[in-house]
Structure 1
Amino acid sequence: MFILYGGAIVVEKDKMILPAKTTVETTDGEILGEIYHQNRSLTEIEDIPEHVQQAFIAIEDRRFFQHGGIDLKSISRAIFKDIIARDKVEGASTITQQVVKNLFLTNDKTWMRKTKEAMAALYLERHYSKKQILELYLNDIYFGQGIYGIETAAQKYFSKPAKSLTVAEGALLAGMVKGPNGYSPVSQPDKALQRRNVVLKAMSESGMLSTKKRLQEQGKTLGLHMQKNKDRPWMDSYIDLVMKEAAANNQLSLEELKRGGYRIIANVDEQMQKIAYQAFHQDEYFPGNTDGVQGAFVLTKNTSNEILAVLGGRQFTYGDLNRAAIQRQPGSTMKPIAVYGPALMNDAYQPYTLLPDQKMAVKGYTVGNSDGRYDGYVSMYEAVIQSKNIAPVWLLDQVGIDRAKSYLDKMGIDIPDKGLAIALGGLSEGITPLQVADAYHTFANQGTYIKSSAISKIFDRDGQAIYQSKIKKKHVFSKQVAWDMTTMLETTVKSGTASAGDFSKALAGKTGTTQHPQAKGKTKDAWFAGYTPNFTAVIWMGYDHSDKQHYLQGGQQLSDCLDKTYFD
């Protein structure tokens, strides 16, 4: 009675939910990356051809549809052989028992394990249909090379879904169950062919296949069409961002993604991603005084919330620091979003309003221009394109720090700082390249802020959409202010501090550098934030850990490496 009804103790229902890989795909359905503990794609029994099901039943458990989880005839035969050999020499496991062993038990050949196996098998047969058990079995089987389940095996060995498998192909996969490595069609093709033909013979003997059909199928070659894994190192940064976004916005942890079987549709443009990746491998674009210069890159689409490309670093691999989401001192890229944009929202200020340009202290905060030149007074226009320092500090004081920060808040930038150093990007914690991109995107989008996203949709393992990205707009600047800033930033690119490089099309942007605290006169961080009519991009470069032996070279001329190269 205990054996008959005690199966509920052994069966753990949560283990019957098989782990499945999560795929990251383009909007066109091309798989860009996979996240998993076990490389498994689930399929339903209705999508597995009957002749494929029969192949597994014929070779593994011919009386599957007749027994109740335990095949007494097979057990009697196995016990007799064990007694004769005085050892455990033959198994008599049904498909149901194999499911139990794989999911709930160890592989130890002991009578206690067999007792538990029988208990759980009887339980499954009473509570689940034969089709449900067979579906679980076919999705759980290991096929070698890290492949789990009939669907993944069909894709790996024949580059087709399980529903398209032929009789011979199904028999080949069924034959691998006994020993995935020993009967591997890749490393042991002769043994695999012989084993496939044994399966076909078993199907014929069981009445599942006519003799004529069996001979036809046995005459076929293995017919492998191995799926080639595309190596896409340029996608690592983007997939990493997708995982971070899934965790932050959808509460999907990395562990859940590795087992949950989700389909994540990404907003990536793979061609743009690849081009940026290739540029990041050109050392001449990263002028440091020694090796190890790093970078981050973000590209967004102006009319939507799509992140088209992201690089978290040079030679980025999974588990590395994703620098696109790391806070840095933004330098002068902060001026348009924290000072000039908010000031232009006040009717008292226009692009040609005169601002002071003389060495002075503003409420105790003393600052000078980086080039040491002062013109007494300059227009806001000139202050922007020449990246003056005194003018924006004075203007921030006039606008009011709290008011300026209210505009930053609308653009997703929440900083604890309360001093005038905000005007020059002197922040206690810094902001990320992603945040800078969204802020400049606001100017490109006629003053309307849109938070960018790497994820378009998420589907669960049952194909149900559990998330769809929605464009959430927030009015920040007027269209006139956005136009004024764009005009000034266009001139900055043509003849101002961002004029290095060569780009003939419409481009507005701003460079930013930060002084190195330990190497006098050297640059610690270098930025460019800019936009065309279609795209907004931000790039940062610097060292992960800066000291007096690690600094960037080139000063303002770093813009040659930062802006037009990537827009080209």
Structure 2
Amino acid sequence: MSELITRMKRRGLTSCYIAFDVAVIASLLFLAGLLYVHVYGESVVKHHPEKLVLQESSILMASDGTVLRKIPLPESGYRKAARLEEMPKLLVDTFLAVEDRRFYHHQGLDYTGIARALFNNALRMEVSEGGSSITQQLARNLYLNRDKNMLRKLNEASIALALEKRLSKHDILELYLNQIYMGEGQYGVKAAAEHYFGIADLKELDIMQIAALAGIPKGPSIYNPGEQTELSAQRRALVLDIMHQQGLITGEEMTAALHEEYQRPAVVKEKKVGASYIDAALTEASQLLGKPKQELQSAGYTIVTGMNMKAQGVLEETFLKPELFPPSGKSQQVESAMAIVDHRSGEVVALTGGRNPSSGDLNRAIVDARQPGSAFKPIIDYGPALESGMFSPDSMLPDQKMTYGSYKPENLNGAYRGLVTMRMALQQSINAPAVWLLKQVGIAKASEFSAKLGIKLPKEDRNLSIALGGLHVGVSPLKMAQAYSVFANGGVFREAHMVRQIKDSKGNVIYEHQSNPHQVISPYTAEQMTSMLRSVVNDGTGKRARMNRPVAGKTGTTQLDLPGISRKGNRDLWFVGYTPEWTGAVWMGFDRTDKDHYMMAGSGMAAALFSEVMSKALEGR
């Protein structure tokens, strides 16, 4: 008997020891958990301050206000933020009533709500309620993934407590209402209001619309009003009932809202034009603000450009017509690029870097990579000669075969006239007089003239071959249009630009283009050059550029110059010209020129393309 009692005592002591050990371990685990909850959230919030600055989609607009592109966020959606003060009180109160009624009475964790959710889940034998506060939802959305496990919930609680210490209730609620996913790629109530109801001012939302928005977060894919399903209608009705129960609306208002039918606004599609233009405008805006392009795209900027929608549309439609271009090569098609500048303002009204470009493609309109050929003569030969005061359009120039050291330029057809006027030399694009003229004016003086028009030549181009457009690197169509725009503008330089204005996410203007026109060459030089360039179009090599208004311009061709290939083969075809309104530059050629990829067509095709685009783009002006 005594042995039995002894055993029982031992067992009792062992159980006590085990219970004590378990209690100690549980206490330690509890203390460790408390420490973890305190330290983890603070560390996460402290080391990731960027999470508290919400990214917003930047928007690019054409000159007439047309939205060209809403740039998607990294999560492939759109966000437009609003201050809490911009939101109607009923909207804010409804979200609180639906998502977190005790928001102003807890410090991140609603223990009453959690207990209620646990009780209801136990009754139903399923996880149907989460009990997460608005702060917890914000913590999860900003810092965590959507995995459902105990560690995630612990981390969520920890971050929520840290957010409550660091931010005011006002800031937490504002962040939440701007961060929450609202279905169909929309983030935040402002983006959702515009998307689902076409309403930009949140204070214009009616009761039904507010109920619809407040019902979305529980199931963005099934409860958003755009789905127009029974589920979304039921959810909206449930929210209206909550609004009534909480005293936010009257019974009459609830009944009226229940009977209000949802009408989806007309879809305002982004204009799918201007891929090259938009890429170039973003690059320009990035340089203007001194910010990386990625940051620029997700900072909520509104970038207004000088794009003329009609001109850009005409340009892109015209570039889709294969009959306007030379035949394709063995494995490449002939590419082309064009830039059009309003020389009266400097705004780039239209631009394309290829025949059918996509965002991110090579933008041939802005890359300095092609030889301009004879289209460079007005910039480097005839313009400097007129500006020097030593020559006029009627000056006689020698058209003879000459040698300049190792450089031996030739006329294309091998014919020499002896003497020609400057006007005739430019009109017929004769090489010999152009080189002689550059020699007389001097390469240094001519280079200074070119720089005044926006084309600065490197030291490698300090030679006479530039007289015929043989450049070390090359130029872009945009730079050629910029240069000719000075002739069109009476000798006044206005910087070619795409960005007219930039506003930040709050609507403040942070950049506005300030026109700084300045006289860089004499009005006489510009006037005489325009007269000579009109002769080129009316009676010379640029006849195919003629249209129903005055046109001045110059063709340009660079030869293939490959062994065993006809001398009639060409690498680059150009036409640069202007009307009283706009200046445009066209380039054609292969990206990689070789024995299987060159053109037999002449620069008349570039002139014809210029005429096709400009005549339609300027209709009605």
- For Structure 1 versus Structure 2, the TM-score category normalised by the shorter chain is over 0.9
Q: Using the TM superposition, give the Cα deviation of residue 449 of structure 1 relative to its aligned residue in structure 2, in angstroms.
A: 1.9
Q: Which has the greater radius of gyration?
A: 2
- The alignment status of 1:206 with 2:240, answered yes or no, reads no
Report the CA distance between 1:129 and its aligned residue: 3.0
Which residue of 92, 116, 123 maps to 2:155? 116
Once residues 465 and 489 of structure 1 are traced to their aligned partners in structure 2, the CA distance between those partners, rounded to angstroms, is 41
- Is this contact kept in 2: 1:498–1:559, CA < 8 A? no
CA distance in 2: counterparts of 1:407 and 1:557, whole angstroms: 27
C-alpha displacement at 1:474, in angstroms?
4.1
| Aligned position for 2:484 | 440
Residues 110 and 256 (structure 1), Cα distance of their counterparts in 2 relative to 1, 3 Å cut:
same
Q: 1:258 to 1:324 in 2, by over 3 A?
A: same
CA distance in 1, matches of 2:114, 2:548: 81
- State the match for 1:227 in structure 2: 267
The answer to whether the aligner puts 1:454 opposite 2:498 as a matched pair is yes
- Choose which of 248, 263, 266 in structure 1 pairs with 2:305: 266
Q: Runs of 5+ in structure 2 lacking a partner?
A: 1-33, 616-621
Mapped partners of 2:609, 2:400: distance in 1: 30
2:425 matched to which residue of 1? 383
Alignment partners' CA distance in 1, 2:604 and 2:577: 16
1:339 aligns with 2:386: no
- 1:566 to partner: Cα distance: 2.5
Tell me which of 91, 107, 117 is aligned to 1:78. Answer: 117
The structural deviation recorded for 1:188 is 5.6
Please state how far the C-alpha of 1:556 moved relative to its aligned partner. Answer: 4.2
- Kindly report which structure 2 residues correspond to 1:288-437, keeping only aligned pairs within 5 A, or say none: 288-290=327-329, 292-327=333-368, 328-416=370-458, 417-437=461-481
Relative distance call for 1:403 and 1:177 in structure 2 (3 A) is same
Q: Which has the higher helix share?
A: 2
8 Å CA contact 1:499, 1:559 repeated in 2: no
Question: Which letter maps to 2:352?
Answer: L
For the residues of structure 2 that align with 1:30 and 1:228, how far apart are their CA atoms? 10
| 8 Å CA contact retained: 2:213, 2:224 | no
Q: Which residue of 2 aligns with 1:29?
A: 65
Matched, 1:539 2:586: yes
1:427-457 Cα shifts (integer Å, max 9, x gaps) = 1210111110110011111112222100011
| TM-score when normalising by structure 1 | 0.95
Moved more, 472-481 or 174-183: 472-481
CA distance in 2, matches of 1:77, 1:187: 31
Which TM-score applies when normalising by structure 2? 0.87
Q: Contact conserved, 1:359 with 1:390, CA < 8 A, in 2? A: yes
User: What is the aligned counterpart of 2:561 among 495, 517, 533?
Assistant: 517
How far is 1:504 from its partner?
A: 3.2
Question: In structure 2, how many angstroms separate the alpha carbons of the residues matched to 1:75 and 1:50?
Answer: 27
Question: What is the CA distance between 1:84 and its match in structure 2?
Answer: 7.4
Aligned-pair CA distance for 1:28 = 4.3
- Tell me if structure 1 keeps the 8 A contact 2:465–2:471: yes
Give the aligned partner of residue 130 of structure 1: 169
Identity of aligned residues (%): 38
- Distance in 2 (alpha carbons) for counterparts of 1:6 and 1:557: 71
For structure 1, which runs of at least 5 residues remain unmatched after alignment?
A: none
Distance 1:433 1:421 in 2: 20
User: Distance in 1 between the 2:612 and 2:115 partners?
Assistant: 76
The yes-or-no answer on 1:53 pairing with 2:92 is: yes
* Cα distance in 2 between the residues matched to 1:79 and 1:184: 27
Residues 155 and 227 of structure 1 are in contact (CA less than 8 Å); yes or no, is this contact kept in structure 2?
no
Counterpart secondary structure, 1:457 = strand
**In 1, Cα distance between equivalents of 2:40 and 2:69:** 43
2:496 and 2:586 mapped to 1: Cα distance? 16
SS of 2:265's equivalent in the other structure is coil
The offset of 1:463, in angstroms, is: 2.2
Identify which range, 234-243 or 382-391, moves more after superposition: 234-243
CA shift for structure 1 position 223: 2.7
Q: Which residue of 1 aligns with 2:143?
A: 104
**Conserved in 1, the CA contact under 8 Å of 2:555 and 2:607?**
no
Distance 1:184 1:82, change over 3 A: closer
- Distance in 1 between the 2:87 and 2:66 partners? 23
Paired with 1:343 and 1:307, the residues of 2 have a C-alpha distance of: 29
